[in-house]
Structure 1
Amino acid sequence: MNEKKLLVVDDDVAYLNTIKKILIKMEYAAEVAASAKEALKILEQEKFPLIITDLDMPDIDGVELCKQIREIDSKSIVYALSGYITEYDTENLEESGFDGYLFKPAKIEVLKQAIEGAFDKIEP
């Protein structure tokens, strides 16, 4: 069985550390980045089949990060993570290259379903 590896990007370090602990308990190989710039450095070194990124970050926002991720690896599945997403935003997220979105704070069961759904698309 392949290792289920994912990268989570969020400038809220406390939230990021909590998510990482939850994902590790769920037996995912979770890597985290506290900024889009940090995420891009990690992505230069390593591929991740799934990336979950906050939309509202100070250095580079999630939409721009998604575009840059697509340039690095067009096969990665990218989910947006935000505390507030409108119907208008969901249409724009799809146009911006996101494969889906999660509300923050993500409920554990919803998070697990989204991640498993992504890995089901990746694995043959």
Structure 2
Amino acid sequence: MTPAEVVREWVDRFNRADVQGLCELYAEDATNHQIVTEPLVGRAAIRKMFETEFKRADMTCNEETLHEAGEWAILEWSDPTGLRGCGFFHVQNDQIVFQRGYFDQLTFFRLQGITVPETYLDT
């Protein structure tokens, strides 16, 4: 699969809250760095993040623009609440090896009606 195809599959699985399916798209030692928290390394840490997020919020990712350059795909996204963000995905051998995401954490919490936690992945 091309990096853009991997990201489109990621969006599909994300919108189904398919934690297992999402984790399968990541290399075993992948890094996911959402700028609102420290980088997460490895599928287990990435799984925990998705489990936490899908428990506390109703999330949808709408593809706005998807760019591809070599092993990279760049996704500009929005959600139904008006939140917008951007994700960078480095894909090798059909798996995400690195992801970095940019979005406004405080707006996310406010739009979801979530009390702002001490740290981002507090449950």
TM range (shorter): under 0.3
Q: From the two aligned structures, give the one with the greater helix fraction.
A: 1
TM-score normalized with structure 2 length: 0.25
Higher relative contact order (CA 8 A, sep 6+): 2
